[in-house]
Amino acid sequence: MTGRTEAPARLVSGVVRRWAVFACCLLGWQALTAYFDDAYFPTPVEIAAKMHELWFSGPANHLFLTTVAIENVVPSLGRLLTGWLIGSAIGGSLGLALGRSRTGLDYADAIINFGRALPAPALLPVFLVLFKIGTPVQLATIVSGVVWPVLLNTVQGAQSVEPVMVDTARAFGIGRARLLFTVVLPASLPKIFSGMRIALGLSLVLMVISELVGATNGIGYRFLLASQSFDLAAVWAWIALVGILGNVVNWLFLVLENRVLGRHRTLVAGAG
């Protein structure tokens, strides 16, 4: 019983400590910016007021969301998730195939090293020529950056599968395709999720960068407009939004990862 009561207490204590540190930083920021009164560094209170004005001052039938929020934040989230899912699917599929084929990995090694070293934003001019301005530019940019961490982590995961598991499956007459999905994929899940988590943060950065030059709406586009009009409170509001979104999507992914991998570990322990 003691262990059961201590676990929630430790969780609550950890959450309180993290939020206490955040609150102290916020109070320090408020005190410093209020003291120096620099137009380039508005106070958190001013930024919060601008965030409310930009996104949460709409009508009740729209859940108080403004037109700016609906027409810019929602499309950005769609691009972020779509690009991340496409890149993760491509990287995961190629990673599983190459991780189980030493010959294929040897042939693809030079291409992988070249692709992973190429910054995704450097491809933006190419994507603008191919797709013009619009969502395809953002998706292509996100996918071109996301695919590599997922691919490399999946390769490592597929290579780390215990040979005895593969040999046992083959002894039972399991074919190559079924072996891949019933043995290799489940055993590679921890590495795959690790790559997908890295890719999720990268997707957010690439979404903003690609919207700075290749979009007519979105978070990056509105950030650019705010900076060009010297609306510094709005600039900081959009920066804060990116940070908030990064924390939210990371937390949601951790919840999903813990649930999937927790179930996976339970099944493995039961099989053992």
Q: Are residues 90 and 24 part of one domain?
A: no
Q: Of residues 111 and 267, which shows the higher confidence score?
A: 111
Q: Are residues 80 and 30 part of one domain?
A: no
Task: Read off the tokens for 5.
Answer: 């009561």
Q: Are residues 192 and 93 part of one domain?
A: yes
Task: Read off the tokens for 68.
Answer: 């700016």
Instruction: Please state the pTM of the whole predicted model.
Output: 0.88
Q: Are residues 134 and 24 part of one domain?
A: no
Instruction: pLDDT band for 234, please (50, 70, 90 cuts).
Output: very high
Q: Are residues 4 and 80 part of one domain?
A: no
Q: How many C-beta neighbours within 10 Å does residue 175 have?
A: 9
Q: Are residues 106 and 155 part of one domain?
A: yes
Task: Read off the tokens for 45.
Answer: 């209170």
Q: Are residues 211 and 167 part of one domain?
A: yes
Helical spans, DSSP H, in the chain: 2-36, 44-55, 67-68, 74-99, 102-117, 124-131, 135-159, 163-171, 176-179, 185-213, 219-228, 232-271
Instruction: pLDDT band for 264, please (50, 70, 90 cuts).
Output: low
Q: Are residues 127 and 11 part of one domain?
A: no
pLDDT of residue 5: 57
**Domain of 28, in residue numbers:** 1-37
Give the count of domains, the chain: 2
Q: 128: domain CATH number?
A: 1.10.3720.10
pLDDT of residue 255: 92
CB-based contact 138:79 (threshold 8 Å): yes
What number is the average pLDDT over the span 134-160? 95
Report the chain's mean pLDDT, rounded to a whole number: 89
Q: Are residues 66 and 19 part of one domain?
A: no
- For the stretch 168-200, pLDDT in tens is 888 878 887 888 888 888 889 999 999 999 999
The Cα–Cα gap between 231 and 222 comes to 11
Cα-to-chain-centroid distance, residue 200: 2
Q: Are residues 89 and 30 part of one domain?
A: no
CA atoms within 13 A on the CB side of 267: 10
Q: Could you report how far apart the first and last alpha carbons of the chain are, in Å?
A: 27
Q: Are residues 219 and 116 part of one domain?
A: yes
CA atoms within 13 A on the CB side of 256: 12
- For the stretch 26-84, pLDDT in tens is 999 999 999 998 889 999 999 999 999 999 999 988 889 999 999 999 999 999 999 99
Task: Read off the tokens for 64.
Answer: 């108080």
Q: Can you state the angle between helices 135-159 and 124-131, rounded to 10 degrees?
A: 130
Q: Are residues 257 and 131 part of one domain?
A: yes
Q: Which of 158, 146, 231, 211 lies closest to 189, judged by CA?
A: 158
